[in-house]
A = this chain, B = another copy of it.
Amino acid sequence: MEQENNQPDGRLFANITQVGVVVHDVDESVSTYEKIFGKDSFVVVEGEGTATLGDGRDVTIKGKLAFCQLGPVQLELIQILEGESCHVDFLKENGEGIHHIATEVANLDEEIEKFRAKGVEVLQRGFGLRPWAYMDTKPIILELIESS
């Protein structure tokens, strides 16, 4: 599945739709970023969702998320309130920071298989509004989101 020389697979970065940032406290970060991006520029939601970890276990995660649409890119701030999640590991290992870059794909399972053929496994996956998967392309984590 390896590509030929000098023809990187640019499709995956052709359409960055989200930059995801793990933070300690969403409210505090929203307050900071609204000074930059404008008052009331974030929508904050608190909720519970299910996900599948890299080892196959299904988990329930409670989180507080904030979204701000900046041109074509959504800025997502993520605070995990309860449950196991790769975001918790990230915060422990790296502190607050950019956790993932997201791109849309037509067929999530097909893309995952392409990554697996290159030795890259799923770090975590789930289904929010649309199916998504974090691919273990660390230190960058690439999130694939299935187009609606």
Contact = CB atoms under 8 A, between A and B. Distances in A.
Nearest to A11: B71
Contacts of A16: 16, 19, 73
Interface of A: 2-16, 19, 21, 23, 29, 33, 35-41, 68-73, 75, 93-99, 101, 115, 118-120, 137-140
21 contacts: A2-B39, A3-B37, A3-B39, A5-B40, A6-B41, A8-B69, A9-B36, A12-B71, A13-B72, A13-B73, A15-B71, A16-B73, A19-B101, A21-B140, A35-B118, A35-B119, A35-B120, A36-B118, A36-B120, A98-B99, A98-B140
Given A3-B41, A35-B119, A35-B120, 14 more contacts: A2-B39, A3-B37, A3-B39, A7-B41, A12-B70, A13-B72, A13-B73, A13-B75, A19-B101, A33-B137, A36-B115, A97-B98, A97-B140, A98-B98
